[in-house]
Amino acid sequence: MSRPALPDDTELRDRVRDLDLDSKVRLLTGADLWRLPAEPRLGLSAVTMSDGPQGVRGTGDDPDETGLLAPAPSALAAAWDTELAERLGELFATEARRKGVDVVLAPVVNLQRTPVAGRHFEYFSEDPLLTGTLAAAVVRGLQSRGVSACLKHFVANDSETDRTEYRARLDERTLREVYLAPFEQVLAEAAPWSVMAAYSGVDDGTESAPMTEHTRLVREVLKGEWGYDGPVVSDWAATRSTVASAVGGLDLAMPGPEPLWGRPLAEAVRAGEVDEQLVDDKVLRLLRLARRVGRLDEPGQASVPTPPPVPAAPTPEEFRLLREVAARGTVLLRDEADVLPLTADGVRSVALIGPNAVAPYLQGGGSAFVPAVRTVSYEEGLRAALPEDVQLTVHRGGDARLRLPYASAELLTDPGSGATGIRADHLDADGNRVGGEVRATGDWTTYDGFGPAIARVLLRTELTLTQPGTHRLEFGCSGRFSVSVDGEEVLAGEDDRGVELVLESSHNHPPRRGIEIEAGSEGRKLTLVLDLTVVDAGGYGRFVTAQVRHAPPGPTPYEEIAEAVAAAQAADVAVVVVGTNEEVESEGWDRAGLDLPGHQNDLVRKVIAANPRTVVVVNAGAPVLLPWADEAPALLWGWLPGQEAGHALADVLLGRTEPSGRLPWTLPARAEDVPVPDARPRDGIVDYAEGVHVGHRAWDRDGLVPAFPFGHGLGWTRWTYESVTLSPTPVSAASPTGPAGGDGLNLTVALTNTGPRAGREVVQVYLEPPQDGSDRPVRLLAGFATIHAAPGERVTAEVHVPARAFEIWDGETSAWHTPPGRYRLHVGRSSRDPHLTAEVTVDDGRPHQHDRKEPQS
Ligand code: BGC
């Protein structure tokens, strides 16, 4: 356990006692977007926070700051490997220290309740146990190096649509067994030093409130029952009240200064609406956090202890770890024709095809975004790995993006100076010019660049259409604005919301309009004017959004597909990379469906038909439908792989690293089978009507066959499962244990690598409880272990099944209990591929003595 042998609260309480109310309240909301205030009288330095979970973005003080970009969490989850997750947590800690960050706002332990969830890529899994186990490992890694995790978003914030408004309606049992479960597990196993309260709310039948005000779940369960002693931090701009949030258990309102806290909170204390002891408790929690991350002077010491030094810049070892995670998390879904690995022998040419081959989607959008220190495209990775005499050609095969590319800078001219780019005049409220600049880009979205004196930003440019034919233009802006082309208004907006525009991601997904312009045979010049009112987004700053996009006449998608298919036919091997992109997977919105965007299905089908040695790689974080999956000779799920994408894919394709990933979620074959197809609130409510049957549990309940089940992944060797033995440690139902408690069962599984190569196997254990009428899942993931073996080697995997796996939450007694009956434990390669089974009987509330174990076909 990484928590220091602290806190001695007596000493901390003494410090708090000496502070006056206003000074205490000042500490409970941010000094700015990412920092908490310092208080020299307490020996407190500013605690700095930054987003995860794909890396550590930093505070943005340096606009050119870059960082390590890791594979998205669902890619890490696919490795099912706690040791790897812990190492990645350590890397995040090093990166945080490098950037002066004390608290990384990660990991995310919301669940992939619906495959269309916008932040699906940020979540680990649809399964609570897999989520909790891996998140605990990340937290251990971070905190072992003195950097705080911030476990988020507490709780049941599993979708994005109207996220600041909706209430998730779910019963206590579903909360306990599914959505609270990963939070409880991580608290028990890794003791995170901070937790974030979600934007959304929960209606659990006893209390319906936003999570920043949910007394029962925050104060009673999280802090009371589970003994969590750190601060509960609001999600950014999620604080909606003074008294209700202060009483409900929120400790820190971020970003700051939050106008609803500060002075109004002090007044509420003076008016007797908030007990001052609550304020003291919040400060105490803040001090515990500060002490744990080394931002609190200790008595007898002159200053904050200096954390151990970290390398000033990212190192080759760190790049290698990111590459390892991306390669090992890759899931080999299918390899019918033994296409993989592509040994250089006999392969003289490779055609790399697909919209995502040309523009890989490396990370999801939203607050998790990290400007990467470097990126290795698929083309670069393959070119570096293939022998020089192997020909590599690249073909897009049609654009999958709905939006046009940003206008090229060289086509844009400032009408004032003649310089390249778009001219911006900053105007005050009376229309007087108070500043300006010229930028050589069609992407003119700008944060926090405008002081209160700047009310409007007037953008002007001349766009030169050089080629004859039909040009397409597209504009995207948010807030109040108007866009005109040659004096004619083509788009206008009247949205005067402030921070809500940030929270719904309107800045990267703004209202837009496309138009077509004929250039004539001589080409043409257009005058573009974008008149933008600066959006005041509170703690997020003052910003404008303006996108100027342009596509000159070019080949149609059908022509591009035909060209790519011809290249596939001519090459020895075709590698097709299809997937999602920044228009599809992001915080701020949920997807409308599961289809691959654009003409990608058509492209894949035609390439497969053209070349029997085709490898299809899916570059997506969340499920997409693959209607051609049964025809693909080889099929890999390549995730949102982070900065080392190209090296990782080359490692897998050329047989250097085994794609040993297993799906952490179920891949549907048909949209109509999906248990929770959308998460749109109805009358402000997202109804978790499926109860405890989340993800693969619902597929089992409904008896439906997915394209690939939860836990599936082939790797590149074969395994024979030989035996399972149980150590029937008794479990006491009378004194419920934490899920990480020592109680439960231990399984020893013997298996042999009977294939030709060394490989990794994820031994998965699914518990089938008695169907005693209490609506239990058909099977639930109860434990797993990852082992490695040489060809022919026999190994044993030790899998712990916690007592909690047997238990259900009894709403009547408000306690866990283990229903008696016969439980079967299936050991195998996925939720649908059992190889061994053992049974245990629970007759007096304790599982004991297995009475049968049998191999399955
Ligand atoms: C997200 C959080 C994030 C915060 C700060 C919010 O919009 O929901 O996950 O940590 O912004 O960027």
Domain harbouring 204, CATH code? 3.20.20.300
Is beta strand 685-687 parallel, antiparallel or unpaired with respect to 167-169? parallel
Ligand 1 atom having least distance to the Cα of 157: 8
Handedness of CA 212, 214, 217, 222 (dihedral sign): positive
Ligand 1-lining residues (CB < 6 angstroms): 51, 105, 152, 235-236, 367
What's residue 505's pLDDT? 80
Interval 152-162 mean pLDDT: 97
What's residue 852's pLDDT? 45
Closest residue (by CA) to atom 9 of ligand 1? 367
Q: What is the CATH number of the domain that holds 530?
A: 2.60.120.260
Would you place residue 851 in the very low, low, confident or very high pLDDT band (cuts 50, 70, 90)?
Answer: very low
Is 561 in contact with 398 (CB distance < 8 Å)? yes
Give me ligand 1 centre to Cα 236, in Å: 6
Which of 502, 532, 549 terminates a domain? The answer is 549
Residue 279: its H or E element: helix 276-292
Q: What is the CATH number of the domain that holds 821?
A: 2.60.40.10
Q: Specify the DSSP class assigned to residue 732.
A: -
The partner residues of 535 in beta bridges, in order of sequence, read 543
Give me ligand 1 centre to Cα 526, in Å: 39
Query: Is 80 exceeded by the pLDDT of residue 118?
Result: yes
Interval 466-490 mean pLDDT: 96
State whether 834 and 800 are in the same domain: yes
Residue 323: its H or E element: helix 316-329
**Pocket residue to mutate for ligand 1, from 35, 105, 152, most atoms within 8 A of Cβ:** 105
**Pocket residue to mutate for ligand 1, from 367, 370, 500, 502, most atoms within 8 A of Cβ:** 367
Would you place residue 2 in the very low, low, confident or very high pLDDT band (cuts 50, 70, 90)?
Answer: very low
Give me ligand 1 centre to Cα 584, in Å: 19
Is 624 in contact with 402 (CB distance < 8 Å)? no
**Tally of residues, the chain:** 857
CA distance 49 to 433: 36
DSSP reduced 3-state for 85: helix
Query: Is 80 exceeded by the pLDDT of residue 6?
Result: no
State whether 367 and 335 are in the same domain: yes
**Pocket residue to mutate for ligand 1, from 157, 211, 235, 500, most atoms within 8 A of Cβ:** 235
Judge whether 150 lies within some domain: yes
Ligand 1 atom having least distance to the Cα of 108: 9
Domain with 116, as residue range(s), is 47-254
What's residue 744's pLDDT? 87
Query: Is 70 exceeded by the pLDDT of residue 739?
Result: no
Q: Read off the tokens for 10.
A: 């007596």
DSSP reduced 3-state for 7: coil
Query: Is 80 exceeded by the pLDDT of residue 8?
Result: no
Q: Bigger pLDDT: 276 or 8? A: 276
Which of 522, 549, 576 terminates a domain? The answer is 549
Which of 683, 698, 729 terminates a domain? The answer is 683
Closest residue (by CA) to atom 12 of ligand 1? 367
Interval 261-271 mean pLDDT: 97
Judge whether 470 lies within some domain: yes
State whether 479 and 623 are in the same domain: no
State whether 545 and 606 are in the same domain: no
Judge whether 742 lies within some domain: yes
Give me ligand 1 centre to Cα 631, in Å: 41
Ligand 1 atom having least distance to the Cα of 199: 8
Closest residue (by CA) to atom 4 of ligand 1? 236
What's residue 301's pLDDT? 60
State whether 511 and 603 are in the same domain: no
What's residue 727's pLDDT? 83
Give me ligand 1 centre to Cα 271, in Å: 33
Handedness of CA 304, 309, 315, 318 (dihedral sign): negative
Judge whether 101 lies within some domain: yes
Residue with structure tokens 């169907």?
A: 771
State whether 783 and 807 are in the same domain: yes
Interval 279-295 mean pLDDT: 97
Ligand 1 atom having least distance to the Cα of 198: 8
Query: Is 70 exceeded by the pLDDT of residue 10?
Result: yes
State whether 516 and 637 are in the same domain: no
What's residue 507's pLDDT? 76
Ligand 1 atom having least distance to the Cα of 51: 10
Q: What is the pTM of this model?
A: 0.95
Query: Is 70 exceeded by the pLDDT of residue 849?
Result: no
Ligand 1 atom having least distance to the Cα of 52: 10
Ligand 1 atom having least distance to the Cα of 105: 10
What's residue 337's pLDDT? 80
Query: Is 80 exceeded by the pLDDT of residue 782?
Result: yes
CA distance 367 to 505: 9
Give me ligand 1 centre to Cα 359, in Å: 26
Judge whether 13 lies within some domain: no
Closest residue (by CA) to atom 3 of ligand 1? 367
Closest residue (by CA) to atom 5 of ligand 1? 236
Query: Is 70 exceeded by the pLDDT of residue 732?
Result: no
* 195 contacts: CB under 8 Å, gap ≥ 6: 150, 151, 152, 154, 183, 222, 228, 230, 231, 232, 233
Judge whether 23 lies within some domain: no
Query: Is 70 exceeded by the pLDDT of residue 26?
Result: yes
State whether 485 and 521 are in the same domain: yes
Burial of 347 (0-12, 13-18, 19+ CB in 10 A): middle
What's residue 845's pLDDT? 56
State whether 124 and 105 are in the same domain: yes
Judge whether 195 lies within some domain: yes
Closest residue (by CA) to atom 11 of ligand 1? 236
State whether 234 and 369 are in the same domain: no
Q: For 133, phi and psi rounded to 5 degrees? A: -65, -45
Interval 422-435 mean pLDDT: 96
Would you place residue 846 in the very low, low, confident or very high pLDDT band (cuts 50, 70, 90)?
Answer: low
Give me ligand 1 centre to Cα 197, in Å: 10
| Cα angle value 383/388/393 (rounded, 5°) | 50
Judge whether 319 lies within some domain: no
**Pocket residue to mutate for ligand 1, from 51, 163, 196, most atoms within 8 A of Cβ:** 51
State whether 214 and 91 are in the same domain: yes
Give me ligand 1 centre to Cα 447, in Å: 16
Per-residue pLDDT reduced to its tens digit, 549-579? 999 999 999 999 999 999 999 999 999 999 9
Percent of the chain at pLDDT exceeding 70: 94
Q: Mean pLDDT score of the chain, rounded to an integer?
A: 93
Give me ligand 1 centre to Cα 234, in Å: 9
Give me ligand 1 centre to Cα 50, in Å: 9
Closest residue (by CA) to atom 8 of ligand 1? 235
Ligand 1 atom having least distance to the Cα of 153: 9
Residue 485: its H or E element: strand 480-485
How many domains are there within the chain? Answer: 4
Percent of the chain at pLDDT exceeding 90: 87
Ligand 1 atom having least distance to the Cα of 163: 8
CA distance 180 to 426: 48
State whether 442 and 523 are in the same domain: yes
Give me ligand 1 centre to Cα 106, in Å: 10
Residues carrying an active site annotation: 235
**Pocket residue to mutate for ligand 1, from 236, 587, 590, most atoms within 8 A of Cβ:** 236
Interval 696-723 mean pLDDT: 97
